[in-house]
């Protein structure tokens, strides 16, 4: 019946990151099945930060995000703020950015159109 | 003779020994194999015929012991499965009750409000849904809201119930949507975990001044069908979803909308725009807008909702939808539409796209 197969990968780019931030690149769909498959990995990244001040989520190749995943981002952001850090989103495609914007997430979380602009802001 | 006698004694001795051996053998066979097998078979027959059976106790480690142990393990699993089924049935029963409580919270019929024609349709994806809507009249003000909690099922239903109660409480205290939603958010944030939130869009209609305003809390677009233009105006609802920050007072605002008679405001949840067809395509905002524009020129709010619902159902076909769906049309009552108002006020809010076929 269901020929739509959700898929997602979350790659931690250690070369790109440094002592200031950790970068996680998402590819695919963050729907129910997608979220379940990357939840633990992403949480581990967030929990593993020490001296870093930011965890950067690169959404360039993220095609879809549902409200549960946004709740997950909110939870991660809250967790990071308690540790004195922040969650930052970069390069979301219009559809994904609109959803983040509509729900009001970008009112409490920083967003940059490119990684370079984020780096400039440091 | 001696040798013959010796032979006879030898043969008798042989047969005697053989008989004793056979008695011992069969005795042993009966006691060690047949009897235990009988006991096992008796319990197996009882199990297969649905009669009460007992556990078989043995310390034996041979084949008989293995069969007895196997029987005990199998029946233990049966008992566990049977308990699980009973527990499942009990939980299903409780879910049904919870689902009914939630249905009772959502308004069963569309309300009659002076100056407005309101038609809402809602369909939860599972027993309990995360979508919520209500119409509350207090004095000259009528508050109409649609909301969507993260996810669905039991956690979403509990949050939805909480928000509904808070809104009803604060509508009694405040005469504007801004204060209602600021206070609802404040109380909600104290009570829910950080992964949950509820997007909401609230309209306030003053039947005395005939003015409408909206207050967005991170919800989907507000769609306004302008009858003179025959087009939909799309506005971002703005604000931030309820439960995201402890204080949303600087992030939400109540905005006036200028409406003419016959204009229709459409509220919806993302179950519609995120509905997928068999190919995995989204129904999307553009299709929803086009569908509203197609039908709003010909029908009143009831027709709009039913035809858009049908259009959505035709698009998604048999693809299983995993989200709740809510669609509400609020029309500023013109003289022309006044007759339809009587029937619209009695309409059920249950989702039934097939209703268009009756028209």
Indicate yes or no: CB of A67 within 8 angstroms of CB of B151: yes
Please give the pLDDT value at position B31: 85
Please give the pLDDT value at position B357: 40
Q: Does residue A2 belong to the interface with chain B, where contact is any CB pair within 8 Å?
A: yes
- Secondary structure element (H or E) that encloses residue B29, with its range: helix B2-29
Query: At residue A4, does pLDDT exceed 70?
Result: no
For residues B133 and B183, membership in a common domain is answered with: yes
Q: Best interface-test mutation with A: which of B195, B220, B239 has the largest number of A CBs within 10 A?
A: B195
Query: At residue B358, does pLDDT exceed 60?
Result: no
Indicate yes or no: CB of B218 within 8 angstroms of CB of A104: yes
The CA-based dihedral angle spanning residues A45, A49, A53, A56, taken in that order and rounded to the nearest 10 degrees: -10
- Closest residue to B280, CB basis, from A3, A74, A102: A3
Structure tokens at B52: 């009460």
Domain end (from B80, B102, B135): B80
For residues B59 and B190, membership in a common domain is answered with: no
Indicate yes or no: CB of B319 within 8 angstroms of CB of A104: no
For residues B45 and B185, membership in a common domain is answered with: no
Chain B neighbors of A70, CB-CB under 8 A:
150, 197
Instruction: Give the strand pairing for B131-138 and B141-149.
Output: antiparallel
Q: Best interface-test mutation with A: which of B155, B244, B251 has the largest number of A CBs within 10 A?
A: B244
Indicate yes or no: CB of A102 within 8 angstroms of CB of B236: yes
Please give the pLDDT value at position B345: 41
For residues B307 and B210, membership in a common domain is answered with: yes
Ramachandran category for residue B59: left, alpha or beta (phi over 0 → left; psi -120 to 50 → alpha): alpha
Residue B208 domain-assigned (yes or no) = yes
For residues B137 and B228, membership in a common domain is answered with: yes
Q: Does residue A3 belong to the interface with chain B, where contact is any CB pair within 8 Å?
A: yes
Please give the pLDDT value at position B334: 67
Q: How far, in Å, are A14, A103, B133, B155, B237 from residue B201 at the CA level?
A: 41, 11, 9, 21, 7
Q: How far, in Å, are A16, B94, B271, B355, B357 from residue B352 at the CA level?
A: 52, 26, 15, 6, 10
More confident: A112 or A1? A112
This model of the complex carries an ipTM of 0.77
Contact B148, B324 (CB under 8 A): yes
Indicate yes or no: CB of A1 within 8 angstroms of CB of B318: yes
Contact B152, B126 (CB under 8 A): yes
- Closest residue to B196, CB basis, from A71, A79, A108: A71
CATH number at residue B167: 3.60.40.10
Q: What pLDDT, in 10s, does the model give residues B91-105? A: 989 888 888 888 888
- Confidence tier at B182 by pLDDT (50, 70, 90): very high
- Secondary structure element (H or E) that encloses residue B210, with its range: none
CA-to-CA distance for B262 and B228, rounded, in angstroms? Answer: 9
Q: What pLDDT, in 10s, does the model give residues B112-124? A: 999 999 999 988 8
**Taking the domain A8-121, which CATH number applies?**
3.30.750.24
- Secondary structure element (H or E) that encloses residue A54, with its range: strand A54-65
Q: Which of A79, A120, A93 is nearest to A109 (CA)?
A: A79
| Dihedral over Cα of B172, B174, B180, B185: its sign | negative
Q: What is the mean pLDDT of residues B142-152?
A: 90
Chain B neighbors of A104, CB-CB under 8 A:
217-218, 238-241, 244, 251
Query: At residue B50, does pLDDT exceed 90?
Result: no
Please give the pLDDT value at position B189: 93
Query: Can you give the residue range of the structural domain that contains B69?
Result: 2-80
Q: Does residue A94 belong to the interface with chain B, where contact is any CB pair within 8 Å?
A: no
Strands (DSSP E) along chain B, which ranges? Answer: 112-113, 116-123, 131-138, 141-149, 198-206, 211-217, 222-226, 231-235, 254-257, 264-268, 325-332
């Amino acid at each position: 019946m269901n020929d739509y197969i959700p898929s997602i990968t979350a790659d931690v780019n250690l070369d790109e990151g440094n002592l200031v931030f950790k970068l996680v690149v998402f590819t695919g769909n963050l729907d129910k099945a997608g979220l379940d498959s990357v939840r633990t990995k992403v949480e581990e990244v967030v929990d593993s930060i020490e001296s870093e001040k930011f965890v950067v989520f690169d959404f360039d190749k993220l095609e879809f995000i549902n409200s549960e995943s946004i709740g997950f981002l909110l939870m991660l952001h809250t967790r990071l703020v308690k540790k004195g850090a922040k969650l930052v989103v970069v390069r979301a495609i219009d559809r994904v950015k609109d959803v983040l914007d509509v729900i009001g997430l970008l009112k409490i979380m920083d967003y940059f159109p490119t990684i370079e602009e984020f780096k400039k802001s440091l | 003779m001696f040798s013959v006698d010796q032979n006879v004694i030898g043969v008798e001795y042989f047969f005697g020994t053989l008989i004793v051996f056979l008695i011992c053998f069969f005795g042993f066979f009966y006691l060690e194999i047949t009897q235990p097998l009988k006991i096992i078979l008796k319990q197996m027959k009882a199990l297969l015929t649905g009669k009460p059976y007992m556990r078989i106790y043995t310390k034996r480690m041979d084949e008989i012991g293995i069969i007895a142990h196997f029987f005990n393990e199998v029946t233990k699993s049966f008992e566990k499965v049977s308990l699980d089924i009973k527990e499942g049935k009990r939980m299903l029963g409780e879910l049904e009750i919870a689902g009914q409580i939630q249905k009772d919270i959502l308004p069963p019929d569309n309300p009659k409000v002076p100056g407005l024609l309101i038609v809402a349709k809602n369909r939860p994806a599972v027993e309990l849904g995360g979508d919520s809507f209500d119409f509350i009249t207090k004095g000259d003000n009528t508050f109409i809201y649609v909301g969507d909690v993260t996810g669905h099922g039991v956690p979403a239903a509990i949050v939805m119930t909480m928000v509904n109660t808070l809104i009803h409480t604060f509508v009694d205290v405040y005469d504007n949507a801004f204060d209602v939603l600021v206070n609802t958010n404040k109380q909600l944030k104290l009570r829910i975990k950080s992964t949950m939130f509820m997007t909401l869009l609230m309209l306030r209609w003053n039947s005395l001044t005939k003015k409408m305003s909206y207050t967005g809390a991170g919800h989907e677009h507000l769609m306004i069908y302008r009858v003179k233009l025959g087009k939909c105006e799309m506005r971002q609802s703005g604000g931030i979803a309820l439960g995201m920050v402890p204080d949303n007072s600087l992030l939400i605002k109540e905005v006036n909308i200028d409406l003419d008679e016959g204009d229709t405001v459409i509220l919806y949840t993302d179950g519609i725009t995120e509905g997928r067809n068999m190919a995995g395509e989204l129904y999307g905002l553009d299709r929803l807008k086009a569908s509203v524009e197609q039908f709003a020129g010909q029908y009143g709010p009831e027709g709009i909702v039913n035809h858009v619902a049908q259009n959505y159902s035709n698009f998604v076909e048999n693809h299983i939808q995993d989200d709740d769906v809510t669609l509400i049309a609020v029309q500023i009552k013109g003289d022309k539409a006044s007759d339809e108002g009587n029937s619209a006020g009695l309409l059920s809010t249950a989702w039934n796209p097939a209703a268009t076929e009756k028209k």
